[in-house]
Amino acid sequence: MKTWMIVSAYILFAPLLGGLLAGIDRKITARMQGRFGPPVLQPFYDVLKLFEKESVAVNHVQNFYILFFLIGVIFTGCLFFSGGDLLMVIFALTLANIFLILGAYSANSPYSSIGALRELMLMMAYEPMVFLVAIGFYMVTGSFGISNLVQSNKMLLPYLPGIFAGFLYILTIKMRKSPFDLSMSHHAHQEIVKGITTEFSGSTLALIEIAHWYENLFLMGFIFLFFTWTSPWGPVVGVLACLVVYFLEILIDNSFARAKWQYVLSSSWAVAATLGFANVVILQLLQK
């Protein structure tokens, strides 16, 4: 399939798949809690309702930042699914998140400012592990190109078990699941109202939700890279692994209370230093 077709499919269908995953997430969460839960299509109803509401903003600058947050996330996904450079994908995603943080700061609200501070702290927590993922992929395949990783003649997971485990750990942060949903939560237990999104409403809040649908889909793409290879069964195994990991994140979300920020930061760095760095060192020794 041509690159432009893959990118076009991502732009058009990623929000549909992302919203569907969000609906399944809500349904499974409700069943785990002994409730029936909303319809699977409820996230789409919510977003459409947000577009119908008036968007009240402290200043127009915050809407500008959120628009660029959405564009940045879409651009990051396009880079990923076009087979671009993995380091560029990481940098683009970081830049997109910075726009979200600037939008929260521009509102001048104590609640959104606290959420923005927590988001910055979470970025400090997960970034080392994300870069170790890129380093691990390079050490095994000799390339940062995602197209080369997908066309690898071997599954990468057996070479990167520590890095994969570390990525699973910080994936809970990126997907905003408990116990690491400090800056923003999709659930009602968020004690700082809605954290970083407190001062956003209407269509602006809808854009943030759509951006997360895009983001969750290409985060699953990282999981896919660990499991796929050039065999006809490679993509099948990769997709099944993504589904299992997504369910695991839902299970974790409903099994743990929120942690303190000190624990999130120290534990994420500890995981990166032990599982991730140890995996890199072992790979280096094996290649000598």
List, for residues 62-105, the tens digit of each pLDDT value: 888 999 999 999 999 999 999 989 999 999 999 999 999 998 88
The more confident residue out of 94 and 55 is 94
- Asked if the model's pLDDT at residue 128 lies above 90, the reply is yes
Burial zone of 287 (CB within 10 Å; 0-12 exposed, 13-18 middle, 19+ buried): exposed
- Asked if the model's pLDDT at residue 5 lies above 90, the reply is no
pLDDT, residue 288, reads 66
Task: Out of 42-56, 64-78, 150-164, pick the least confident.
Answer: 42-56
- Alpha carbon separation from 155 to 43, 70, 138, 140, 224 (Å, rounded): 35, 32, 14, 10, 10
pLDDT, residue 201, reads 83
Angle CA(126)–CA(249)–CA(238) in degrees, nearest 5?
Answer: 90
pLDDT-derived band at 187, boundaries 50, 70, 90: low
- Alpha carbon separation from 108 to 101, 111, 120, 145, 202 (Å, rounded): 12, 9, 16, 41, 18
pLDDT, residue 186, reads 65
List, for residues 227-279, the tens digit of each pLDDT value: 999 888 999 999 999 999 999 999 998 888 888 889 999 999 999 999 999 99
pLDDT, residue 194, reads 65
| Overall number of domains in the chain | 1
Rounded distance between C-alpha atoms, residue 158 and residue 184, angstroms: 34
Rounded distance between C-alpha atoms, residue 128 and residue 126, angstroms: 6
Tell me the mean pLDDT in the region 47-51: 91
User: pTM of this prediction?
Assistant: 0.91
Tell me the mean pLDDT in the region 126-149: 93
Per-position DSSP letters for the chain, written without gaps between them: --HHHHHHHHHHHHHHHHHHHHHHHHHHHHHHTT-----TTHHHHHHHHHHHS----S-HHHHHHHHHHHHHHHHHHHHHHTT-BHHHHHHHHHHHHHHHHHHHHHTT-HHHHHHHHHHHHHHHHHHHHHHHHHHHHHHHHS--BHHHHHT-SS-SGGG-HHHHHHHHHHHHHHTT-TTS--S--SSTT-TTTTGGGTT--HHHHHHHHHHHHHHHHHHHHHHHHHH--SSTTHHHHHHHHHHHHHHHHHHHHTT-PPPPHHHHHHHHHHHIIIIIHHHHHHHHHHT-
What is the residue range of 101's domain?
A: 3-286
